[in-house]
């Protein structure tokens, strides 16, 4: 499985050259930046991606909606760029925090069993929340999976923002193992973690059950989903900065 521990890798698969300023859209270098490549919006509010490279397809010429993954990544990257430097390693937070988030994602993916897994990360910011999702298929614990690069990039960016901002948020994972025996119905497993004070903390079985089986608007209990097991999440490492 590819490791996402380098924030310099941009969604288009290119690396920024250290010390090189960001190219301006429409300029000589603008044609090389991800935002100007085929299937990418040229700039904020530009044309929507054409569905290549893992991005959702929209009608030709239609503006990408505010919750499109491209805008989520762009907004998250801007927040990380404005977060200054890590007080421990003095590296820009856009690199340090992203690397910490990538290590957490890798740790989780390395420990889930075989099957299809869907992860959703949400961060509650004062103006508007950031949300990202990732779908991955694995063959077993620690095995390489079909990991969509762009989804992983956006999810790590959102998680990194939560680690730096210290705001409430969470990460949930819904897993469906391989095909069950013919006489059994397929089951899903749900696990979750919460973001608090810049840390990703596991939810216990009762907390996951309460989160999924409580009406958020009224607080009334909801019946559990059939065929779903609400499980305690493993405790991830602290994901602190490793220093210089």
The alpha helices in 143-185, defined as continuous H runs, are 149-165
Q: What is the pLDDT of residue 58?
A: 56
Q: How many CA atoms lie within 13 A of 24 on its CB side?
A: 3
The alpha helices in the chain, defined as continuous H runs, are 69-81, 93-111, 149-165, 205-212
> Residue 186's pLDDT band (boundaries 50, 70, 90)?
confident
Residue 1 pLDDT greater than 80, yes or no: no
Q: What is the pLDDT of residue 185?
A: 76
Whose tokens are 């559990």? That residue is 224
**Averaged pLDDT for residues 201-229:** 93
**Averaged pLDDT for residues 100-113:** 88
**Averaged pLDDT for residues 216-227:** 91
Residue 180 pLDDT greater than 60, yes or no: yes
Burial of 177 (0-12, 13-18, 19+ CB in 10 A): middle
């Amino acid at each position: 499985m590819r490791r996402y521990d380098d924030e310099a890798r941009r969604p288009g698969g290119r690396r920024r050259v250290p010390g090189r300023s960001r190219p301006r859209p429409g300029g000589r270098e603008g044609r090389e930046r991800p935002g100007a490549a085929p299937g990418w919006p040229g700039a904020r509010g530009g044309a929507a991606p054409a569905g290549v490279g893992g991005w959702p397809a929209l009608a030709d010429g239609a503006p990408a909606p505010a919750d499109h993954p491209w805008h989520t990544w762009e907004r998250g990257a801007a927040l990380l760029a404005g977060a200054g430097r890590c007080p421990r390693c003095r590296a820009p937070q856009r690199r340090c925090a992203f690397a910490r988030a990538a290590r957490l994602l890798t740790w989780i993916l390395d420990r889930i069993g075989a099957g299809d897994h869907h992860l959703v990360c949400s961060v509650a910011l004062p103006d508007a929340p950031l949300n990202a999702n990732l779908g991955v298929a694995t063959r077993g614990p620690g095995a390489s999976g079909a990991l969509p690069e762009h989804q992983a990039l956006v999810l790590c960016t959102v998680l990194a923002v939560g680690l730096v901002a210290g705001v409430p948020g969470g990460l949930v994972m819904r897993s469906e193992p391989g095909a069950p025996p013919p006489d059994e119905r397929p089951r899903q497993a749900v696990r979750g973690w919460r973001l608090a004070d810049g840390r990703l903390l596991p939810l216990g079985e009762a907390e996951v059950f309460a989160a999924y089986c409580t009406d958020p608007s009224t607080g009334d209990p909801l019946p559990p989903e059939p065929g779903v097991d609400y499980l305690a999440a493993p405790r991830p490492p602290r994901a602190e900065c490793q220093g210089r």
